[in-house]
Amino acid sequence: MPVTKGEYQVFRNACPRNCYDTCSMQTYVKDQRIQFVEGAPESSFTDGGLCVKGYSYVQQVYAKDRITHPLRQVPRGSGHWERISWDTALETIARKIREIEEKDGSLHGLCLATGSGNHGITNNSPDGMMSSLGYTTRTRGTPCWPAGIDAQAYDMGEMWCNDPEDLVKSRYIILWGVNPAWCSIHSMKFIYEARERGARIIVIDPLFTQTAAKADLYCQVKAGTDGILALGMARVIIEEGLTDPDFLSNHTLGYERFTAYLDQQICLAQVSEICGIPESEIRSMARDFASIKPATIWVGYGMQRHTNGGANVRAIDALGALTGNIGKPGGGVRYGHKTNRIFNYYAASMSPPQGAGPGKDRFINTNRLAQEILDAENPPIRMLWNTCRNPFSQDFNRPLLERAFKKLELVVCVEQFMTMTCEQADIVLPVTTLFEEDTLNVAYWHYWLALNEKAIAPVGECRSNTRIAMDLSEKMNQLFPGSCTFPTHLTSEEWISREFNDRVYEMFGITSWKDLKSGPVKAVIPREAWGDGRFATPSGKYEFYSKLAQSHGHKALPEVVPGRKPSAPFRILTPHSKFSIHSQFQNLDYMTAFNPEPCVRIHPKAAAQKGICDKDLVRVFNDQGQIVVRSRLTTTVPQDTLVLHEAWFKNKGYCVQNLVDDQSSDMGVFKTGSPGVAIHDQFADIEKISPAARRFPFNFWKTR
Contact residues toward another protein (CB under 8 A) are 6, 36-39, 47-53, 55-59, 181-182, 185-186, 188-189, 192, 203, 208, 210-220, 276-278, 281, 578-579, 589-590, 592-594, 605, 632, 634-636, 638-640
- Nearest approach in angstroms of CB 528 to another protein is 25
Neighbouring C-beta atoms of residue 673, cutoff 10 Å: 16
Cα–Cα distance, 121 to 123 (Å, whole number): 5
Helix, strand, coil percentages for the chain (3-state, nearest 5): 35, 20, 45
Cα–Cα distance, 221 to 229 (Å, whole number): 8
Cα–Cα distance, 260 to 82 (Å, whole number): 68
Say if CB 245 and CB 205 are below 8 A apart: no
- Nearest approach in angstroms of CB 167 to another protein is 14
Instruction: Give 604 or 673: the residue with its C-beta nearer to another protein.
Output: 604
DSSP alpha helices (H): ranges in 610-668?
A: none
Instruction: Give 71 or 212: the residue with its C-beta nearer to another protein.
Output: 212
- Nearest approach in angstroms of CB 46 to another protein is 9
- Nearest approach in angstroms of CB 269 to another protein is 14
- Nearest approach in angstroms of CB 182 to another protein is 7
Beta strand segments in 57-100, E: 71-73, 81-83
Instruction: Give 144 or 215: the residue with its C-beta nearer to another protein.
Output: 215
User: 514: which residues sit within 8 A by CB, 6+ positions away?
Assistant: none
- Nearest approach in angstroms of CB 589 to another protein is 5
Omega before 294 within 30 of 0, i.e. cis: yes
Q: Which amino acid is at 148?
A: G
Q: Phi/psi at 365 (nearest 5 deg)?
A: -70, 115
Instruction: Give 37 or 333: the residue with its C-beta nearer to another protein.
Output: 37
Say if CB 194 and CB 201 are below 8 A apart: yes
Q: Is 412 helix (H, G, I), strand (E, B) or coil?
A: strand
Instruction: Give 405 or 570: the residue with its C-beta nearer to another protein.
Output: 570
Q: What burial letters (b/e) apply to 109-125, b meaning 16+ CB within 10 Å? A: bbbbbbbbbbbbbbbbb
- Nearest approach in angstroms of CB 208 to another protein is 6
Instruction: Give 507 or 591: the residue with its C-beta nearer to another protein.
Output: 591
3-5: strand order across its sheet? 3-5, 8-14, 24-30, 33-39
User: 96: which residues sit within 8 A by CB, 6+ positions away?
Assistant: 382, 383, 409, 410
Instruction: Give 187 or 622: the residue with its C-beta nearer to another protein.
Output: 187
- Nearest approach in angstroms of CB 55 to another protein is 4
- Nearest approach in angstroms of CB 56 to another protein is 6
Q: What burial letters (b/e) apply to 600-627, b meaning 16+ CB within 10 Å? A: bbbbeebbeebebeeebbbbbbbebbbb
Instruction: Give 63 or 429: the residue with its C-beta nearer to another protein.
Output: 63
Instruction: Give 58 or 113: the residue with its C-beta nearer to another protein.
Output: 58
